[in-house]
Structure formats: structure tokens, C-alpha cells
Structure 1
Amino acid sequence: MTGQSFQTTPTVPSPQALARIAASLDANPRRAHEEAEALLARSPGFPPAELLACQALVRLEKPREALPRLEALAMREARVPAVLWELAQVAMSCGATAKALPALEALTRLQPAIAGGWFLLARALRASRREMDAWRADLSGVHASARDPELVKAAMAMNAQRFEDGIALLEARIAQRGEDAPAVRLLGETHWRRGDMTAALDRAMRAVELAPGFDLARDFLIRLLLQNNRLAEALEHAEVLVRSPVDTPAHALILASVLVRIGDHARAEELYREILGARPQQPQVWQNLGHVLKTTGQQAEAICAYREAVAQKPTMGEAWWSLANLKTARLGPADIAAMEAALASIDPAAPELREDTFHLHFALGKAYEDAGEPAPSFAHYDKGNRLRRTLVPHDPEAFSAEVAATAQTFNAAMLAQMGPGGCEAPDPIFIVGLPRSGSTLIEQILASHSRIEGTLELPEMMIIASRLQSRVDEGEFPDFAAMIAALTPQDRLRLGEEYIEKTRVHRKTSKPLFLDKMPNNWQHVGLIRLLLPNARIIDARRHPMACCFSGWKQHFARGQTFSYDLADIARYYRDYVALMAAYDAAAPGAVHRVIYEDMVHSTQAQIRALLDYLGVPFEQACLDFHTNARAVRTASSEQVRQPIFTSGVDAWERYTPWLGPLEHALGPIDRLYPAPRMP
């Protein structure tokens, strides 16, 4: 600490002598102690010499000898920061928190701009079980650190994308001065922006450990945990954050986002309503509330929430699209005029408004479709897709190559060679296929059964597959097949158990079976069979023209990067059919296929066949699935709350004049549907 101003005594040792002792404290604390005591013998009670003697005792691991002397010195030199700092540190190391607190409180009054004093005070307050006072002290330390020139320099390097420079600055600071929460959090953010998620998570966790009241660090940590699908941990930290003494709706908003991810929509709705009750002029929160209301089947209220959002912000494209995407809602001429006006008001050169732009195009496409005007409808869908395609990475050639490699890997010979293994839990039922293929309908039917719990589109299997693929990408294995072949029965057991454990947070009932409706898991059917041999797999398939067109005109929140180009989505459909045909050949009967058109036209027969495959008895509730009030988050959430209807089966035919590229890219339909006949 700086800013010393000791009282003087008649006999003053030379500054050179004091400096010499200070310089030897770390290298030779015994000698420093002897010299300081010698000075005190000549100048009894001389404060700088007394402080040096106490510092030497600490380095000689005799803090309990130093403590009473520092207390006495602080009584005489109550305005010398260095004395208060040393007393506080020594008292804390001796477990004498009650003696540290007055020193730290005095220290932070004298030097409020020094962050270290606040963080040490927070530790002392926390040790004294004064949690909220400790939280405020941490926040004061964070505020003080905002003016730290080293941190400002590192932040500027990060914002300029000079990540290596920023990391070097922060690591050098930490090596020299020890860890402090603001530096560690900034180091974590720099690693995150550079793309190193593991290092980012490690630093974010450490920052929260160092300063539990560092709200921005905890907020950052929650977001990283959400990105890594570590939902239980994210919820734990979000529950802490909302107790912050800082009164801001941001904390409740991030808790609500975690609650939505784990499926606790009722509590998320409650939080959104509380926030809006205090401050209703928040279009983003109205939109979020609309999403929750839609998911829980409160359609009329969802419409009101979305309309409130666009009333407050007419250019809010996502809210317009969400309103249009309520399949039971209709946007009229006044809505179309409002959206066209909003679109015209957006500066096309403003990158931050591109999302509003493509959302408005998708919403207008749906509005004109409902109005029976396919030409302007297709034009807006096309513009929205073209813009969205420029913003998402998708390499159809590389993806097709990955699918072909997967098909070659999981052949019958390989499955036989791998032998038994994996987690034998029978709980999971995977519903796979393309989006808009009827998978939500199957999910709703099965979730109406007394033995089957509906959850969400769970990413856990995709995360496991991605982690395994990273071992190939990092050079540990020459290719995917070699990596899979290297999995031992114990590896497969561990990974299968990991899936069961990680999905447990989504299970809210005691039902023995549960659904995982992540459609993209069609890519991982072979891996599922290795890790979870008793899992059931249902392939939801729909006519390729209907499925691809429906997917193309549906803007997905995330994940479906193939869906914004008619040729891309056709190729994706062909890759999907080819891989599923390969799985059928490798393990006949392992996957149960449900053809959407058959389900629509012969519902009871299809449901009975499906339940027979799952080994559960028929229940009337499965036929009455539309009365099930469970939460549904997908684009079909309103449709599955109605009895089955056939009006949408051939809806794509109205757009036939514009679908030549899709038809051409698909090729002969009879090779893809309903039973693939591959060349």
C-alpha cells in the first residue's frame, strides 16, 4: 500500500538504512528482522522500523508475534495505509477477523480507490458472516478496479482483438501482484473471445471464487455455463446472482433464461411479469414473455405479449416473426402494412439491424401465405433466407463427406466387432429426423403416455459426439472410424452414463422413460447404439418436397444452418436418407420409422405400431394428445394442441412455380420416400 505518513521521533534512522532493510525482506527476512530491531534499539518506537520488524516476522512465519505489535502500531499510526494493510493481512492469517475488520474499514476510508483493500475487507466480512456487507465490498473493489491503468490497457487490447497481447499483460500482472478478481475475469473474457472456452470457464470460475460478490463475473460465468449446457451449475449461480444488493432486472432476466433452458417455464413467466410490472416499457422482455406463454400453450396471452413488443418497437423483427410463427394466429392487412413500413425504415447498411430485417421478411412471407398470396409470400421468404444464409456457416460438401464417413464407420461388421458395451439404461427414446417432419407430433403423442415423459430437444448427445470428433481434429486419431474403434466397453459405459446424468436435470417426473427430440441426432444413431444399446430410436420422415419447403420457410432460432437455401436443404435431406438407410442395413429393425403422411391418415394404427416398438401398452391418451397441457418449445407448439388435420400435407404445392431448384436438387423422389431406394 502507498501513502504512508508516519509521525517522526527525535532520533530518525537514515532513509538509506530503512530502504536496505526493506530490500532484504524477501531474500533474507532474518537479517532484515535483526537490522530492524537494531534500529528500534537506537530509536525506540520508531514507526517505520517497527513496521519493518513486523513484516520480517511475518516472513519468518511468526505472524502471531507480529500481530500485537501491529495492533499497537496502528493505535499510534491510525492513518498510515501500510500499517493498516499489514495489520489486516496478519490478523486474517491468524484467524483474528475481528481485529482485521476495523483496520480494513479504516483503510478503505483512507484509500477508496485501491481495489485490494475492498477485496480483503470483503473476505473479512464474509468470514464474519456479514454476507451482504461483503457483497457490497466486492462491488466497491470492482468499481475501484475500473480505473486501474493496467486493466484498462489489457481491455483495450482485447477489444482490438489483440488477444495475445491482452493475455500477456494480464498474466504478467498476476505473476507479479497475485490474483485479483477483475484481472482474472478479464483474462477469462479474453480467452473466450479468442475461442478457448476451457480457459475462459476456468478463469471465470476463479474470479467468482476470489470475489463472490463480483456480479459481472458471475453473470459472465452463467453465460459460459449455458453455452456449455451445464444447466444445473448455471441455475445455482443464477439463484445467487438474484440476491445481489444491486437492484437491476438484468439478474432476474438471466435467471429466467436459465429457467427456460431447464424447462421451468412457470417460474420464468413469473419473473418476466414481475419485471414488467415494475417497468413495462421493455419490448425485449415482452417478447421473452411471449415465448414462454407460447411454450406453455397460453396462445391468446402470447399474442398479446408479442403485440405489446411490436407496439413499443415496430422494427422488432423477432417479435413479428414470433407472432407470425404462431400457427393459429393470422396477421391481417394492417399488420402487413406495419411490417412493410418497419422494413422500409431500417437502414440496410446497419449490421446490427440485419436480424430485424430477415425476421421481418420471414414474418411477411407467413402473412402473405396466410392471405393466400403465394407470389409475394415466396419473395419475402426468399429474401429472408438469402440474407440469413450470408450470416451462417454451412459447407454442404464437407457435411456430405462427414455423413458418408459416418455411414462407412457404423456398418454391420463394425457393430459386431465392437460387441456389448455402453450404459444399459432403457430410459431414453430418441426422436430424430429433419425439422418440420412431424417429430413434435410424435413427441406429443408419446408424452401423453403414462410411462413416457416429454422433455426438450436435448443437446447432450451432440455435445458428446462433438467432443469425440475434437479428438480427431486435434490429431489424436487419424480419422473418425479409428476414434470410434478405440472406444473400450468402459469408455462407452462412461459416456452413456454421462448422457443419462446430464439429461436428468430435464426430467421432472418419475416416469421410467423419457423423450429426447433433438432432430439432428439422426447423425449420431450409430453412436447412440454404442453408448445406449437399450435406447429406442424413432425416425420421423415426411415427403421431401413438403419437409424441405416447410423447413426453408421456417426461421429457426439456432442450429439448422442448412435450411436457408433450397439446394442446401435438399442435399441435407438426401444425406439424411442415405445415412438412415445405412443404419437400417447395419442393424435392421433398430430404428422405427414413422411416415408423417401415414400418421396423419391412419393415426390409430400408426400409434399402436409405435407403442409396440417401444414395448408399452396402448393408451387412449395418446390419441387425445391435443389435450396434453405440457410445455412445447418447437415451431409446432400450437399445431400439436389441436386434433390431427390434413390441410398442411400438400401446402407446398401452391408454391410449385418457384420450387424448381428444390425439386431438381432432390432428384427422383421415389429414391428418398417413403422407403429409400438408393442407387
Structure 2
Amino acid sequence: MAANAAGGLNEAIAHATRLLGADPGGALALARDILRAAPGHPHALLIEGQALRLTGNAGEALSRLAALARGQPRMLDALWELSQVASATGDSAQAVAALESLTRQQPAAANAWFLMAKELRKLGRTQDAWRADLSGVHASSRNPELLKAAVAMNEERFDAGEAILKAWLQRAPEDAAATRLLGEMIWRRGDLTEAMALVERAVALAPGFDLARDFLIRLLLQANRLPDALAHAEILVTSPLKNPGHDLIKASVLVRLGEQAPAGEIYERLLKLQPNQPQVWQNLGHVRKTLGQQAEAIHAYRQAVTHQPTMGEAWWSLANLKTVKLGDEDVAAMESALASLAPDRREDIFHLHFSLGKALEDAKDYAASFRHYEAGNRIRRAMVQHDAAEFTAEVEATAKTFTAPFIAAMGDGGCPAPDPIFIVGLPRSGSTLVEQILASHSQVEGTMELPEMMIIASRLQARVDEGEFPDFRTMIASLTPGDRLRLGEEYIERTRVHRQTGRPLFIDKMPNNWQHIGLIKLILPNAKIIDARRHPLSCCFSGWKQHFARGQTFSYDLTDIGLYYRDYVASMASYDEAAPGAVHRVLYEDMVRNTEHEVRRLLDYLGLPFEPACLEFYKNDRAVRTASSEQVRQPIFTDGIEQWKNYEPWLGPLKAALGPVLAAYPSAPDRAS
């Protein structure tokens, strides 16, 4: 008889539980029937509390569940239900108390930790909330579903991983760890926008999720959303789990924003705590170099290679200080480092080759120097993607688009702001010198090589690549005056973060923008464009032996760089023909030989009065991030104009690639050539 009674009670409990979702009123009535038959039955009391919450009687539910939790402190379902009702009624203190009891007994309950973090924030206990979020993430990391998804991601089985995570998030939509993992998976598939939205949601769900915030900052940097990245970095460094990596990522954001001095302070503070950090020494060296503090930069780079003799990038950073010459001891140290490195250490190896190339060039051993430059470039070229023929086709499509009739047919439009001055050309063409001269004028602010125009252009090109338009010309022709105004305003707004003074004009020195001058004039008709040009052999060889950290994939092969220069000359000649006078050309050789005359011509083009400070540009202490940062802090010298002649025996591939461009310089070759 007793067994039959127990079985009936269990069946009634199960039935009441099933009713909760579809008929909470019926579940409440059945639970009370059970309690009349079995007063104080814990599961019936739990169903009663749940049903009261679902029928809108939160106050009574809270009272019942609190009593149940006191009487059954190890009943985890009761504690969880109590915490939810307490949260819903605004009783954060009681919610936290219930959750603390629950998580002590079941530390793997991720959802309990995350809810606790929210309630702790309501109570103003921010640091405790942060720790609760971190505990929730730790608990989630042991979730078998998430572990399976992570394995799938690492094996690049993205479809399988996404399916696992999306199914899990259907059941647990507020799981911050699963949301962040899905964001990373989608980022690895190449969708930055969707990935960023998911990681932002993960951080919103669990503000103390440090790894998610760190990842979000990196995504924001990738998207060039620098103010947002800094805001998150400022939060990250306040984490109760102190991590030097948080300070480093904040410093990297500050560097991207041009805030070199505060970034340097972070590096120095970290080095005082732990001097044996070659990467931090190198970062500090970059800051000191940019600020013109050459002695301090040399010291920092020397410290980096002292602590890690095989650190190729630090050696290259030291060699790349144009006013530093590495001696015999340095050459021996680099050769020893090179001999000790395993083949898979390609980054260190090619940096050491470039460094040895520079050291041996300074020693006038040009044959050995060339061998090292060639070895470094060969390794680097194998690590990047650049299709010279495809690039030429893109340049030709642009040139064929922006003809005089096409420009006339597009008519007026774009943002009328006169603020931007674009300096375009190839790297190592003298563009930093032009920038430094102009930035010494009271009306002009120097910024840096800004990526915003390239981001806009890439977004437009994607519309062709994705099939929305059949070709580039059709896509550009589709831009209405309103579209052009919006795009121009976007550029002005996105670059505002880089402007630190009240000067009315600013410089964008991204050299690759020569590919987009037609677009620039469509969306910013009053912008000025300066083409900084240098003798093709001098410019191309200087670029080939200058290792660029990123963005110049054409520069690691003499043929590639020669063809790139040839495409550039053809493109600029085409636009000169379509829009005469729109672009002002500065020849490096003329600038260094007849500086004042060329500066006056430049200022006349910009509509600015002559200022003597432009001739004393080397006294300007602004931050300069390019490879010419030390050179532009000295008066003009002509020593570098014909350095390529020391390597002429080996420049046959470059001369062949340049073809008629070489003989025609400084003019463009005839179209028939």
C-alpha cells in the first residue's frame, strides 16, 4: 500500500512538472493538492513556487521559495529558482545569497555564476561581479558541447563547430562563453562584422569575461574602430586578475591612436617590474624611435637583443635606424643567431637577413649585403600573396573608369570639406619628407598613414567581387551624389580621431592611396593630392631592401616592385590626362636639390602662404612612424639619391620590369611604349 501511495505521489509530481510550461495555473492547483496530501513535500513546494512565478505572483513565490531554501539548503533547484525570482523582484541581496550557496555546492553551474555577476553589479560590488563572470567562464570551459565545438574549430571543421554552438545557444542563449567561441569561429571564416557583433554580445552578457574583451579589442583594431578599442582596453586593465597582457594591449591601442608617450609609460612601468622582457623592450624602442628619442630607442633595441639574441625583429629595428651603423661584433652576433635558428623560425630568419644586409651595406660589402637582402626577401615573398598580373588588371580597370568624360558625367557631389591632404606614391619615395615639411606649417596637421580610404575602397570593391555589379566602372557609376556625400563624410568622421590639434588641414600619408585618387576626388572633391615620386631605381631598390611590417606585399621581389612602379606611373599619367592639375607632383630629387623653390610650389598648390618653418622641418618634434623617421629630423641631404648604383650589377630583373618607365623618368612613357 505504501509503495502504491509513493508511486502515485511521484506520478502527480511528474504531471505537475509537465504542466508548468503549458498550464502554470493547473500546475499550481495540483501542487497544492499534493501538499494537502503530503504537507511540506520539497518538490511540491518547488513546483508551487515556480507556478506562482509563472502566474505573476512573484512576491508570494519569493516567500515560498525562501522558506523552502532555508529548510532544504542543499536543494539546488530551489536555490536556482529562488535566485531568479529574487532577481525579478529586485531583491539582489537575496538572489546573491542563494547563488553563493548554489555555486559552493556546484561550482560548474555556469549560468548561476553569470546571474550572480549581474546581481552583484546591481549591488555595486563590481570587483566581486567580475570574479563571478570569470568563474562562470571557467565553468563553461568544461562544457562538453563547447569542448567539441572548440576541437572542430581548431581542426577547421567550421560547419560542424557552428552547428554545435548554435544548437547549444538555442538552449542557453545567454551563455557568454559559447557566444564568444561562435564569434571566433565566424571570424576565422572571414566575417569580421558578424564576429564582432557576437563578441560584443559576449562581453555585454559577461562584462568580466576578460578573454572575450581582449579578443574584442583585437577585432576592433582590425576594423580600425580605435576609440571603441581604447574604451574596452581601459576597462580591461581594471580587471581584478592583474595581467601584464592587459597593459600591453592598451599600449598597442594607444600607439595606433598616435598616443606614443602614454604607451611608452606603460612599457617602462612593466620593465621596472620585470626587465627581462625582450618584446616589451622592442615595443619601447618603437615608441622612442617614433618620438625622435634616438638614443633611448637604441638602448631599448639593444636591451631586446641582449635578452634574446635571436630576436630578428629587434635586430632589424636597430639596423633600420638609418643613422645607426652596426659593427663587426653585431654582424658576428647576428650570424651566430642565424646559424642557431631552426628553419621554422622564418620571422626571425628573414629579419636577420635584412639586418645583415643593412650592416654589410654600411660596411660597403655590397655583394654580401645583396645576398642577405635577397635571402630575406625570398623568404618573405613566400609568406605573402601578391599577383602582379591581377594587380595590373585592377589598375587598368580603374584608369579606364576615370576618364575625362566619365568624370564630367558624374557631375558635382561628395563632401565639400577641404581638410584632407593626401600624399601618395610608393614607399621610400620621399613622402615622409613632404609630410614633415607640410606638418611644419601652422595650418597643417600631420597624422600618419591612415587606412580609412583603403577601407572604403575595399568595401566598394567587395560589391563587385560579390556579384552585385558586373565590373568596377558600373559600381562607381552607380554612386549617387548622396552616396558620395555619405562616403566623404564617413572618411572625415573616421579620421577625426587622429586629429589632435585645431589646424584646419590634415595629412593622410597612406602611399597606396594612389590607387584610389579617382574615388578620392569623387567623394572629397576639395581634397588635395600630392604625388611624391622618386627615380624608379632609387625608389624601388630602397623599397626592396626595406622590410615593411605589413601592407606592401609587392616589395619583396625586384620584378614585382618594378611592375608595381610601372602600374603606378601609368595610373597617375591616366588621371593627369583626365583631370589636369588635380594632382601636384613632387620629385624627390628636385626637393632635395632646390628645397625652397619646391616648397613654395607645394604651398601654392595648397593655397597656403609660405612659412619659414617649412624649411626647418627637422626641428618639428611631432611623432613620425615611418622608416624615414630619423632622416626627416635632419636637414636635407643628397647622399641617398644614387645608393642603388652600388648594387647595379644585380638589378637586371628590376630594370627589365620597369621597362620604358626607367628611360622616361621623370615623365611617363608614351602610351604606345
TM, length-normalised to structure 1: 0.97
> Is the alpha carbon distance of 1:671 and 1:650 closer, same or farther for their aligned partners in structure 2, counting shifts above 3 Å?
closer
User: Secondary structure, in 3 states, of the residue corresponding to 2:389?
Assistant: helix
Q: Which moved more, 1:188-197 or 1:218-227?
A: 188-197
CA distance in 1, matches of 2:619, 2:504: 22
Q: What's the offset of the Cα at 1:358?
A: 0.4
Match of 2:226 in 1: 231
Match of 1:5 in 2: none
Match of 1:395 in 2: 387
Residue 243 of structure 2 corresponds to residue 248 of structure 1:
yes
Quick one: which of 161, 165, 179 aligns to 2:156?
Answer: 161
CA distance in 2, matches of 1:250, 1:12: 59
Quick one: which of 303, 309, 318 aligns to 2:298?
Answer: 303
Residue 644 of structure 2 corresponds to residue 652 of structure 1:
yes
Residue 510 of structure 2 corresponds to residue 515 of structure 1:
no
CA distance in 2, matches of 1:108, 1:673: 75
Match of 1:364 in 2: 356
Q: What's the offset of the Cα at 1:91?
A: 1.1
For 1:311-330, what aligned pairs fall within 5 Å after superposition?
311-330=306-325
Counterpart residue type for residue 572 of structure 1 = Y
C-alpha deviations, 1:322-363, integer Å up to 9, x for none? 000000111000000000110000111x2xx10101000000
For 1:98-177, what aligned pairs fall within 5 Å after superposition?
98-177=93-172
Counterpart residue type for residue 25 of structure 1 = L
For 1:325-404, what aligned pairs fall within 5 Å after superposition?
325-348=320-343, 350=344, 353-404=345-396
Q: What's the offset of the Cα at 1:129?
A: 1.3
Q: What's the offset of the Cα at 1:23?
A: 2.1
Match of 1:4 in 2: none
User: Secondary structure, in 3 states, of the residue corresponding to 1:25?
Assistant: helix
C-alpha deviations, 1:516-575, integer Å up to 9, x for none? 000000000000001100000000000000000000000001000000000000000010
For 1:8-157, what aligned pairs fall within 5 Å after superposition?
14-157=9-152
C-alpha deviations, 1:618-673, integer Å up to 9, x for none? 11110000011100000000000000000000000010111111111111345652
Counterpart residue type for residue 42 of structure 1 = A
Q: What's the offset of the Cα at 1:11?
A: 8.3
CA distance in 1, matches of 2:298, 2:270: 19
User: Secondary structure, in 3 states, of the residue corresponding to 1:186?
Assistant: helix
Contact 2:566 2:661 in 1 (8 A): no
C-alpha deviations, 1:118-140, integer Å up to 9, x for none? 11110000111111110111111
Counterpart residue type for residue 133 of structure 1 = D
CA distance in 2, matches of 1:659, 1:29: 84
Residue 175 of structure 2 corresponds to residue 183 of structure 1:
no
Contact 1:545 1:652 in 2 (8 A): yes
Contact 1:574 1:672 in 2 (8 A): no
Contact 2:450 2:508 in 1 (8 A): yes
Q: What's the offset of the Cα at 1:176?
A: 1.8
Counterpart residue type for residue 182 of structure 1 = A
Quick one: which of 185, 188, 195 aligns to 1:193?
Answer: 188
CA distance in 2, matches of 1:442, 1:177: 57
Contact 1:57 1:65 in 2 (8 A): yes
Match of 2:416 in 1: 424
Contact 1:12 1:43 in 2 (8 A): no
Match of 1:482 in 2: 474
Match of 1:604 in 2: 596
User: Secondary structure, in 3 states, of the residue corresponding to 1:235?
Assistant: helix
User: Secondary structure, in 3 states, of the residue corresponding to 1:455?
Assistant: strand
Q: Which moved more, 1:43-52 or 1:403-412?
A: 43-52
Gaps of 5+ in 1: 1-9
CA distance in 1, matches of 2:524, 2:317: 36
Q: Which moved more, 1:20-29 or 1:122-131?
A: 20-29
Match of 1:3 in 2: none
Match of 2:211 in 1: 216
Contact 1:151 1:183 in 2 (8 A): yes
Match of 2:494 in 1: 502
Quick one: which of 445, 454, 463 aligns to 1:453?
Answer: 445
User: Secondary structure, in 3 states, of the residue corresponding to 1:430?
Assistant: strand
TM, length-normalised to structure 2: 0.98
Q: What's the offset of the Cα at 1:178?
A: 2.4
User: Secondary structure, in 3 states, of the residue corresponding to 1:255?
Assistant: helix
User: Secondary structure, in 3 states, of the residue corresponding to 1:429?
Assistant: strand
Q: What's the offset of the Cα at 1:95?
A: 1.8
CA distance in 2, matches of 1:101, 1:13: 36
Gaps of 5+ in 2: none
Q: Which moved more, 1:25-34 or 1:336-345?
A: 25-34
Match of 1:443 in 2: 435
Match of 1:578 in 2: 570
Contact 2:9 2:34 in 1 (8 A): no
Contact 1:11 1:43 in 2 (8 A): no
Q: What's the offset of the Cα at 1:275?
A: 0.6
Contact 1:73 1:83 in 2 (8 A): yes
Counterpart residue type for residue 171 of structure 2 = Q
C-alpha deviations, 1:572-621, integer Å up to 9, x for none? 00100011011101110000000000001000000000001111111111
CA distance in 1, matches of 2:125, 2:499: 37
For 1:637-648, what aligned pairs fall within 5 Å after superposition?
637-648=629-640
CA distance in 1, matches of 2:162, 2:664: 52
Match of 1:549 in 2: 541
User: Secondary structure, in 3 states, of the residue corresponding to 1:593?
Assistant: strand
User: Secondary structure, in 3 states, of the residue corresponding to 2:507?
Assistant: strand
CA distance in 1, matches of 2:623, 2:554: 27
Q: What's the offset of the Cα at 1:79?
A: 2.1
Q: What's the offset of the Cα at 1:501?
A: 0.5
> Over the residues paired in the alignment, what is the CA RMSD in angstroms?
1.2
Q: What's the offset of the Cα at 1:16?
A: 2.2
CA distance in 1, matches of 2:7, 2:15: 15
User: Secondary structure, in 3 states, of the residue corresponding to 2:407?
Assistant: helix
CA distance in 1, matches of 2:575, 2:661: 20
User: Secondary structure, in 3 states, of the residue corresponding to 2:22?
Assistant: coil
Q: Which moved more, 1:158-167 or 1:71-80?
A: 71-80
Q: What's the offset of the Cα at 1:20?
A: 1.9
Q: Which moved more, 1:437-446 or 1:32-41?
A: 32-41
Q: What's the offset of the Cα at 1:177?
A: 2.5
User: Secondary structure, in 3 states, of the residue corresponding to 1:212?
Assistant: coil
Q: What's the offset of the Cα at 1:58?
A: 2.3
CA distance in 1, matches of 2:399, 2:138: 56
User: Secondary structure, in 3 states, of the residue corresponding to 2:20?
Assistant: coil
Residue 403 of structure 2 corresponds to residue 408 of structure 1:
no
Residue 622 of structure 2 corresponds to residue 627 of structure 1:
no
Q: What's the offset of the Cα at 1:22?
A: 1.3
Counterpart residue type for residue 103 of structure 1 = A
Match of 1:294 in 2: 289
Residue 567 of structure 2 corresponds to residue 568 of structure 1:
no
Aligned residues: 667
